[in-house]
Structure 1
Amino acid sequence: MSLMGAWKHIVKISSEFTDMGVDLSTALKMEERGGNNTLFLLERWGGEETFYARFPSLFQLEVNKWCKVPDRLLMYSGELCGKWGWARSPYGSVEINELRELLAACQQVCLYEGEDKLVWDLDDSGTFSVRSLKQKFAMNLNVGENYIIKWNNFVPKKVGILDWNVEMERIPVLLALARRGVVVGSMVCPICDEDIELAEHLYVSCQFA
């Protein structure tokens, strides 16, 4: 599945989102309507987990792992029925139990006219907003004593502000710029040419700084 524009960059930094307590795979879910654009196994649409995660044995049997909802479900006489694409028929207790659970999960889904759409779980409106993301970050942020700055009146204010920016990693060193998408080329310290230029290196460990 190919992603374009801003979402492509968001996926690239998904690990940083996870560190801040936001899992994009659960914050975004597909609201199925006709199911025409929803991946049957790989997208979260029939519950809190993807079918790939819930039914790993059946996933291994699936011939087309990128199949969409209409490829595997159809309405027959008012009932939702499966049209499977297994490499072989499921057998054994594990596969049979997974199949039963899959059928039960599918029966709880209501498909109707309309286009599928992504829903943002962190906002009641279902629409993505920077505000909801920032609020979630703030709730999960573990601010410890390491980030409490004790201001010293004997130190010039500009020195205290610099110290605060270093502690919060807000100095525009090469590593920080690269993380923000700025093309910087090499991230090695241009002064000593020995280590990556980050705030700790620039103000503490660089032998020439």
Structure 2
Amino acid sequence: MSLLNDLALIDKDDTWKWSIEEGDDFSVKGTRSLIDEALLPLLHTPSRWLKTIPIKANLFIWRLLLDRLSLRVNLALRGIPVNSLICPTCSMGVEVRHHMFLLCNTVSNLWRKIIVWIGRLLQHGGFGDTGMITFLSLLLLAS
């Protein structure tokens, strides 16, 4: 009962407060910063997207950097049965991120064509130079 002696009730409407940022206002930026700084400290992969490229490409790069693509080895590690870990495209190596983006001959040829296409887009101002250069840099970092 002694705990209630110090309690003061105020006649005021209830309100919600967001204590992450100054001003108690909610913001997406504050939430994203919280995720980046508190929940993902070991991944070194910020959740920021590049606005100059499509959201699907952003999501793909993010999953690529985290090694969360649905490749055969990743599926097997999650307990999903797969017939074989060998790359179904070339049958020359285990289907892992490094193989799929650098070593697989068939996929490498496809990436070369995509890079030529992106080069043409850059010449004509397609996605914006800065965004596309950052996009390609992230792809190279992931492999």
TM-score, normalising length: structure 1: 0.29
Q: Higher Cα Rg: structure 1 or 2? A: 1
The structure in which a higher percent of residues are helix is 2
TM-score, normalising length: structure 2: 0.42
